[in-house]
Structure 1
Amino acid sequence: MIDQVHVIMPEWISVKEAAEISGYKPAYLRQLIRQGRISAERKGTMYWIDRSSLQAYVDEMKRLGTQRFNWRRLRRQQEKQSQ
């Protein structure tokens, strides 16, 4: 007998819905899509965002807190440690 494989299909939401959920502006969400920071597919003229990808990004930004604004300082620290 063939074992059944359970595949989790992503739940796709529009950019407008994602903006309402996350509190980010639609333009910023489209920027994140172009940068590859959140998963999305383009169907016609609309982007459809993977809800779990968006949630992971929002959670990561909350976890980083103010550190996300200090990326230059963090990069310098990493460079010093690698030398």
Structure 2
Amino acid sequence: MQEWITTPEAARLTGYTADYIRRLIRSSKVKGRKWGRDWQVSKAGLLAHKRSAEKQGNKRGPKSSI
């Protein structure tokens, strides 16, 4: 069974902001669901996304203008 965590829990776990996690859900990069007025995210999916992003060297932040 899939473990679901709230966006604030996910933010503490990953170091991402809750807003960024909701953006990942809306763009279908991670699996999420709306539960009442709150968003929940698949813990396994979020951690897989984080590992993939780190492996590719993708760091959050402004794009370089160089």
TM-score greater than 0.5 by the shorter chain: yes
Tell me whether 1:30 sits opposite 2:22 in the alignment.
yes
Tell me whether 1:42 sits opposite 2:29 in the alignment.
no
CA RMSD, Structure 1 to Structure 2 (Å): 0.8
Instruction: Using structure 1 for the length normalisation, give the TM-score.
Output: 0.67
Q: Once the two structures are aligned, what percentage of the paired residues are identical?
A: 31
Aligned mates of 1:43, 1:21 — CA distance in 2: 20
The amino acid that maps onto 2:41 is I
Structure with higher Rg: it is: 1
Aligned mates of 1:26, 1:43 — CA distance in 2: 15
Q: Give structure 2 stretches of 5+ with no counterpart.
A: 59-66
Question: After the TM superposition, which parts of structure 1 deviate over 4 Å for at least 4 consecutive aligned residues?
Answer: none
Aligned mates of 2:32, 2:53 — CA distance in 1: 18
**Larger proportion of helix:** 1
Q: Give structure 1 stretches of 5+ with no counterpart.
A: 1-8, 67-83
Give the total of aligned pairs: 58
Aligned mates of 2:44, 2:31 — CA distance in 1: 9
